[in-house]
Amino acid sequence: MSADLHAPLGQGRKPAKKPRRRPSLSGALGSLALVSILGLSTYSALTPLPLRYLSEATPPSDTAPGPAAVAPVGTVPAKSGQNLATSRPLGGATVERTVTNDGSVVTKFSPKPRDGKGPVLIDSRSIGQDRRVAALPNDDLLEDTPEGRLPVIGPDGLRPFEQYARPWSGARATRIAIVVGGIGLSQTGSQRAIRDLPEEVTLAFASSGNSLMRWMQEARRKGHEVLLQLPMEPFDYPANNPGRGTLLTTDPPAEALKKLHQAMGSITNYTGIMNYMGARYMSDAAAFEPVMRDIGSRGLLFLDDGSTARSLADGFAKAIGMPYANGDLLLDGQPEKAAVLAKLDELERIARRNGQAIGTASAFDETVAAIRQWSDEAAGRGIEIVGVSALAADEQP
């Protein structure tokens, strides 16, 4: 050991090591308890609570059981085939659990009988025909007659007006229906209209046209709602002749109904009838009333194109109790694209003021092009284009 007698005391020595602290028993127990609590909380959150068995079993529902789900055997001892219990969970269904031969518990869910209370079920018939079968008629809504297969109200009360309607969003937006008539009069014009017009546009088929069933099926597959356009006598008839099968004020009621039924039998899958001309006919109560009553009795709507202020269609529809709509604006009195676009803008102003509007037009090339261009921009301005049935006032009692 070498010592420097002249060095100050305490210098040159290595610092002493700090003593290690031994973990206390109480700290370890506390940490273990904390870990246990956290683990138990996690397990409880992730593990569903077991079903509570009722002390007394409730008789199973008379309704057909739904799909069965197999649950693991619980702690309650049970025999094969034993009905453990039934209960009504929050969803309102009846739950029935039965032990199978292998010891598993089969859980069956079935709806409880409705007592008229609770939420109202929406009738799917009101939303229109499925797109996949839209070109096919509902045979329950047709009757065979010498004039062809005519629309009728179904045995369950379903109307063609409802069956063939185009569904819409139901949103509280500004709604516009555009009806393009004259489909079937020209092969190229009909093809262009069905191909180029947006599917939301309603197409009216001229009853005097050709190949109507073929055009109707193509239009329905595309998604269009369809009307039947019926020629009626104008004031300047016969100088202005709407065509074959025109309803005349001089026709006896039986003859008028025969013409109506011949037109109706030329096509199927339409929601209603639309006039073609007809200012004189629709202002003659004696001639027009039998026709309106027959249309209403078959569950169809009537669209008045709005071309005459003397039309009695509105009053008859309310008295009969049938769906009815009135056109607000003729879009192509001047069949030029710029003029039609200006009319569509005017129709939009009417719709924003009233909440909805109906525009009518013919299948001219310029009209089709204008409607297509305007429709592409309308959605961005909060406009929803709907089938005309969505805007009809349904006067059914």
Contacts for 79 with CB less than 8 Å, ≥ 6 apart: 99
Identify the pLDDT of residue 29: 53
Which CATH number describes the domain made up of 137-394? Answer: 3.20.20.370
Question: Given a cut of 70, is residue 65 above it in pLDDT?
Answer: no
Place of tokens 């009969």: 320
Cα 136 from Cα 159, distance rounded (Å): 15
Sign for the CA dihedral angle at 159, 163, 166, 169 comes to positive
% residues pLDDT > 90 (the chain): 64
Question: Given a cut of 90, is residue 88 above it in pLDDT?
Answer: no
Query: How far apart, in Å, do the first and last CA atoms of the chain sit?
Result: 122
Across residues 21-42, what is the average pLDDT? 56
Q: Residue 121: helix, strand or coil by DSSP?
A: coil
Residues in the chain: 397
pLDDT digits (tens, 9 = 90+) for 257-286: 999 999 999 999 999 999 999 999 999 999
Question: Given a cut of 70, is residue 44 above it in pLDDT?
Answer: no
Contacts for 333 with CB less than 8 Å, ≥ 6 apart: 343
Residue 93 CA to its chain's centroid (Å): 27
Question: Given a cut of 80, is residue 83 above it in pLDDT?
Answer: no
Identify the pLDDT of residue 129: 73
Domain boundaries, the chain: 68-111, 137-394
pLDDT digits (tens, 9 = 90+) for 221-259: 999 999 999 999 999 999 999 999 999 999 999 999 999
Q: Residue 342: helix, strand or coil by DSSP?
A: helix
Angstrom CA distances, 116 to 112, 155, 361, stand at: 12, 23, 46
Question: Given a cut of 90, is residue 111 above it in pLDDT?
Answer: no
Q: Which of 240, 319, 330 is nearest to 281 (CA)?
A: 240
Question: Given a cut of 70, is residue 82 above it in pLDDT?
Answer: no
Across residues 160-172, what is the average pLDDT? 94
Burial of 258 (0-12, 13-18, 19+ CB in 10 A): middle
Question: Given a cut of 60, is residue 2 above it in pLDDT?
Answer: no
pLDDT digits (tens, 9 = 90+) for 153-163: 999 999 999 99
Which pLDDT band, with edges at 50, 70 and 90, does 350 fall under?
very high
Place of tokens 């099968």: 245
pTM of the model: 0.69
Mean pLDDT over the full length of the chain: 82
Cα 131 from Cα 224, distance rounded (Å): 10
298 near 153, Cβ under 8 Å? yes
Q: Residue 232: helix, strand or coil by DSSP?
A: strand
Identify the pLDDT of residue 325: 98
91 near 97, Cβ under 8 Å? no
Question: Given a cut of 70, is residue 216 above it in pLDDT?
Answer: yes
pLDDT digits (tens, 9 = 90+) for 182-193: 999 999 999 999
Identify the pLDDT of residue 131: 78
Identify the pLDDT of residue 305: 97
310 near 232, Cβ under 8 Å? no
Question: Given a cut of 80, is residue 46 above it in pLDDT?
Answer: no
